[in-house]
Amino acid sequence: MKRSLLVAIAIVGAHLLAAIAILFAARLATADDALISGTVTSIDPAGKTLTLAQQGPRHPASPQTPRTTPPSHGDHGTPGGWRFKWPKGDPAKGRQVFGKLECYSCHEVKGEQFPQPSDKGKVGPELSMMGPLHDALYFAEAVINPSAGIEPGKPYTAPDGSSKMPSFNDSMLVQELIDLVAFLQSLKPPGGAAPTGHKGH
């Protein structure tokens, strides 16, 4: 009986020592990790007390460097050097648009068989001279926003300085505008006459 009791006590003691060893090893592992991560400043020699410091990021964020290259379409930005490119239109179809919108009621086109301007109070510039002088975007602006460039004192200038030209923005298709611009660019003075300067729409 006495021998059995001693054996039981020895077994219980062994289990207790094993548990203490596991807990001590876990505490040391935690301390080592804390030291590596920079959260412990000192350890008690007995391994019982840890002095903790405020934890910070293990890897400090690298500073952002300014962008040195212009954005691309992939960045959903405007690429460097981007410029709007006007589409190529059909001058023959643009001539039909010119007639459809009755642009001839205010604009004479020398060399063409359109009716002569009917409203003398709204007569705009003669257009055959303008073809060689302006690029596509100038003509597009003159149609979409005719008041953007106006010569003061001209018959087509309203008292408030805007253009008397009516707006066709609600009645003209985009393709019709593209073709109309192509027609205006194709115009040339009849008989090889030199185009004269023009300061506005």
One domain for residues 49 and 99: no
Q: Is residue 102 part of a domain?
A: yes
One domain for residues 37 and 122: no
pLDDT digits (tens, 9 = 90+) for 7-55: 555 565 565 566 565 655 555 555 455 444 444 445 455 544 545 444 4
| Residue 151 to residue 157: CA distance in whole angstroms | 7
**Number of structural domains found in the chain:** 2
One domain for residues 37 and 118: no
- Looking at residue 123, which CATH number applies to its domain? 2.60.40.420
Do 31 and 40 form a contact (C-beta atoms < 8 A)? Answer: yes
| Residue 82 to residue 71: CA distance in whole angstroms | 11
One domain for residues 168 and 96: yes
Q: What is the pLDDT of residue 43?
A: 47
Q: Is residue 66 part of a domain?
A: no
One domain for residues 40 and 95: no
- Alpha-carbon separation of residue 171 from 29, 77, 91, 120, 136 (angstroms): 79, 32, 19, 24, 20
Q: Is residue 122 part of a domain?
A: yes
Q: Is residue 21 part of a domain?
A: yes
Do 107 and 124 form a contact (C-beta atoms < 8 A)? Answer: yes
Q: Is residue 23 part of a domain?
A: yes
Give every residue of the chain whose pLDDT is below 70, as ranges. Answer: 1-74, 192-201
- The identity of residue 67, as a single letter, is R
Q: What is the pLDDT of residue 13?
A: 58
One domain for residues 49 and 105: no
Residue 75's SS3 state is: helix
Q: Which structural domain range is residue 167 located in? A: 91-192
Q: Is residue 20 part of a domain?
A: yes
Q: What is the pLDDT of residue 186?
A: 95
Q: Is residue 110 part of a domain?
A: yes
DSSP state, residue 49: -
One domain for residues 44 and 99: no
Distance from the Cα of residue 104 to its chain's centroid: 39
Q: What is the pLDDT of residue 64?
A: 61
- Alpha-carbon separation of residue 40 from 45, 96, 108 (angstroms): 14, 85, 90
- Alpha-carbon separation of residue 77 from 66, 81, 83, 85 (angstroms): 16, 12, 13, 17
Q: Is residue 80 part of a domain?
A: no
Do 156 and 140 form a contact (C-beta atoms < 8 A)? Answer: no
Q: What is the pLDDT of residue 179?
A: 98
One domain for residues 106 and 47: no
One domain for residues 28 and 101: no
